[in-house]
Amino acid sequence: MKKVLLLISIIILTLGGYYFYRNYQILKQVHQYEGQVAKAVQKENIPQHKDLVLGIIFTETKGEHDDPMQSSESKSGYPNQIDESQESIEQGVAFLAEAIEKADAKGCDLWTAVQAYNFGLDYIDYVAENGKKHSLELAEQYSKDTLSPQLGNTSQTRYRYLSLHSVFYNGGYLYHNGGNFFYSELVKDNEKKIKQTDFLF
């Protein structure tokens, strides 16, 4: 029994150590863009959201891509059209600022704007008509009933998606062509990681 408990303890410590090491490596990658992000948020008059933007980079690419904010689609409607980090960050921050401005005008919360970074700006109108506050349940409803069918998934088929949030919420799935309705939750968690470890970089 003691050997079994020892083995379990070793496994837990090993996995925990790997988790913290992996997150440190990702945070190091993300923080390399801090200067570019600081300039971009200042230009778009949202300097208070610098850590939020870094959280988006963490969520989108873990800082390991030439388009760290995955901004191609918001600029051109097509993926893989940006291959330079400065352009990616300027475009991504500009789109986020537009989403925040629209959410404010509609009386919606910040996380509606963040989710719109993944879903598109029409999500803000949807939230404005349904209580003005983003929630996981509302995001799933939009993904299932609006976005997914618009993009061709008229039968609302699902695929396996495993994350801490998804497993506890619905057993781990998303809708094909329906974006990621856990997006705001992921960004929120990753922004916290940025804030909590800022002193390390």
Percent of the chain predicted with pLDDT > 70: 98
Q: Beta partners for 160?
A: 173
* pLDDT category of residue 19 using cuts at 50, 70 and 90: low
User: Quick one: pLDDT at residue 181?
Assistant: 98
Number of structural domains the chain divides into: 1
CATH number at residue 19: 1.10.530.10
With 80 as the cut, is the pLDDT of residue 58 above it? Answer: yes
User: Quick one: pLDDT at residue 5?
Assistant: 75
* pLDDT category of residue 16 using cuts at 50, 70 and 90: low
Q: Is the alpha carbon torsion for 182, 188, 190, 193 positive or negative?
A: negative
With 70 as the cut, is the pLDDT of residue 109 above it? Answer: yes
Range of the domain at 190: 2-200
